[in-house]
């Protein structure tokens, strides 16, 4: 662990609900100096310094898996208590109420807004590859000129634009990340974003040390 980055070694609960790219997320955080343990029940969240919710696949499948795992309500209580949370990709989208991808499926509904699809245009969907961010703010971003790796066809449209901590342009602006209190989430994949992604994860861990 780099002592210049972290004063203490935080323990992260990496939520395993059958919908996440767990290994690469765990390895990325471990490279930044964190202790990572898989969380499959509410007991695994109890003494963690932060909860990390990844996710790949469809909104509906992830919402169902999270509910069936028994972790939906504990995670919602964690969020309501303003304890540190990082959502990645579907772990970001699930913070909202619903998604055009999966009509009838309910997210956590912690924030108001819907997950929407990129509009039809000449650009390819999914939005896949590297892209830069605009108007970044909050503890996650040390270098606003960095690029991050995206793979998605849908993105959240928060009702409250003040939640947005970074915008990205792909045929129009969309909310690439949000920050509210101790809750942070990104549509892009920090664990796939090389040096910039690791620095973003370090920013999240440094924020834990400042709590």
Q: Does 184 qualify as catalytic in the annotation? A: no
Strands (E), the chain: 11-15, 35-39, 50-53, 85-88, 98-99, 113-117, 127-134, 147-152, 154-158, 164-169, 173-180, 183-186
Question: Residues 6 or more apart from 71 whose CB is under 8 A from it?
Answer: 15, 17, 39, 40, 41, 42
Tell me the sheet residues that pair with 134: 167
State how beta strands 50-53 and 11-15 pair: parallel
Q: Which of 32, 89, 168, 180 is catalytic?
A: 89
Q: Does 89 qualify as catalytic in the annotation? A: yes
Please tell me the distance from the alpha carbon of residue 178 to that of residue 29, in angstroms, as a whole number.
20
Q: Which of 32, 127, 191, 199 is catalytic?
A: 191
Q: Which of 127, 152, 184, 189 is catalytic?
A: 189
DSSP code for 189: B
Where do we find the tokens 């910039």?
A: 196
Q: Does 191 qualify as catalytic in the annotation? A: yes
Catalytically active residues, by annotation: 89, 189, 191
């Amino acid at each position: 662990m780099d002592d210049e980055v972290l004063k203490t070694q935080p323990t992260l609960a990496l939520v395993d609900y059958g919908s996440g790219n767990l290994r690469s997320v765990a390895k990325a955080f471990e490279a930044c100096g964190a202790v990572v343990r898989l969380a499959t029940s509410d007991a695994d969240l109890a003494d963690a310094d932060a909860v990390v919710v990844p996710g790949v696949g469809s909104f509906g499948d992830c919402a169902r898996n999270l509910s069936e795992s028994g972790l939906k309500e504990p995670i919602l209580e964690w969020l309501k208590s303003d304890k540190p949370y990082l959502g990645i990709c579907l772990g970001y989208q699930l913070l909202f109420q619903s998604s055009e991808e999966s009509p009838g499926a309910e997210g956590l509904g912690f924030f108001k807004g819907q997950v929407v699809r990129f509009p039809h245009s000449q650009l390819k969907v999914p939005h896949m590859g590297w892209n830069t961010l605009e108007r970044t703010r909050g503890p996650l971003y040390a270098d606003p000129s960095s690029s991050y790796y995206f793979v998605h066809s849908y993105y959240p449209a928060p009702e409250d634009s003040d939640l947005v901590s970074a915008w990205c342009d792909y045929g129009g602006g969309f909310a690439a990340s949000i920050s509210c209190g101790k809750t942070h989430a990104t549509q892009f994949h920090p664990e796939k974003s090389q040096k910039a992604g690791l620095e973003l994860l370090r920013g999240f861990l440094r924020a834990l040390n400042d709590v």
